[in-house]
Amino acid sequence: AQTVTQSQPEMSVQEAETVTLSCTYDTSESNYYLFWYKQPPSRQMILVIRQEAYKQQNATENRFSVNFQKAAKSFSLKISDSQLGDTAMYFCAFMKHATSGGYQKVTFGTGTKLQVIP
Amino acid sequence: GAVVSQHPSWVICKSGTSVKIECRSLDFQATTMFWYRQFPKQSLMLMATSNEGSKATYEQGVEKDKFLINHASLTLSTLTVTSAHPEDSSFYICSVWGTGRGYTFGSGTRLTVV
């Protein structure tokens, strides 16, 4: 079974600064996906960024980037130029790769509550 | 991306009554949908996997007779909380899987049982 660990229950960052959220995972799989989801106060789950394990290059989406260390099983999220709208719970998630393109269950971490301070 | 509509967004019901929550995939046919439960300040816990035209697959510890799931069409899955009690009060979220699209989540339903 896979496990996802987020060791930072809460974090804060000044507006316009950079913050890094940590995530580690444990798996025996070699091919999988990793995700960061954002859940703002509205409770809507929003995909922030995703990384395929077979890709060495770290994924980037505008101000969001990841540091994927496969050997260390680490998947941190860096938010640059933090904005007030980034205030939310952030969940790291793991999903095995499905060979036939079908679904696999997602395992979520416990979340990190990020507060962006004006 | 995919659009998933979940209804209602919040509901209050009396103890002992049943409540139905709908999850609709608005722009593509979803053969598989998922139902999660989220307690305050906690992560999402998968309750069951809903497959169109067949019985749902429940996670260990989830009472299938309490949480009835119906996935009768490719665009609609429903979760019925039967004989609800205060301990069933929670936030329920559905998600839809689409090959090539990944997961898309509904906006959630806050259930309060009084």
**pLDDT of B26-78, one tens digit each?**
987 888 899 999 988 889 999 999 988 888 999 999 999 999 999 988 899 99
Interface test with B, best of A34, A94, A103, A112 (most B CBs within 10 A): A103
B93 touches chain A (CB under 8 A): yes
Q: Using the beta-carbon criterion (under 8 Å), do B103 and A106 form an inter-chain contact?
A: yes
Q: What angle do CA B3, B67, B2 make, to 5 degrees?
A: 10
Contact B64, B93 (CB under 8 A): no
* Cα A117 to the center of its chain, rounded Å: 21
| Residue A99, pLDDT score | 67
Strand runs labelled E in A1-118: 3-5, 10-14, 19-21, 24-26, 32-39, 46-52, 60-61, 64-69, 74-79, 88-96, 106-108, 112-117
Confidence band, pLDDT 50/70/90 cuts, at residue B1? low
Residues near B33 by beta carbon (within 8 Å), at least 6 away in sequence? B23, B25, B49, B50, B71, B77, B94, B95, B96, B97
**SS (HEC) of B50-95:** EECCCCCEECCCCCCCCEEEEEEECCEEEEEECCCCHHHCEEEEEE
Contact B62, B47 (CB under 8 A): yes
A118 Cα to chain B: minimum distance (Å): 23
- The predicted-structure confidence for B95-104, as pLDDT tens digits, reads as follows 987 766 678 8
* Cα A66 to the center of its chain, rounded Å: 8
User: Is 70 exceeded by the pLDDT of residue B82?
Assistant: yes
- The predicted-structure confidence for A48-107, as pLDDT tens digits, reads as follows 999 999 998 999 999 999 999 999 999 999 999 999 999 999 999 999 887 665 678 899
Chains A, B: CB contacts under 8 A, how many? 45
| Residue A105, pLDDT score | 85
Contact B20, B76 (CB under 8 A): no
A105 touches chain B (CB under 8 A): yes
A1 touches chain B (CB under 8 A): no
Q: Using the beta-carbon criterion (under 8 Å), do B108 and A43 form an inter-chain contact?
A: yes
- The residue that leads in pLDDT, A25 or A103, is A25
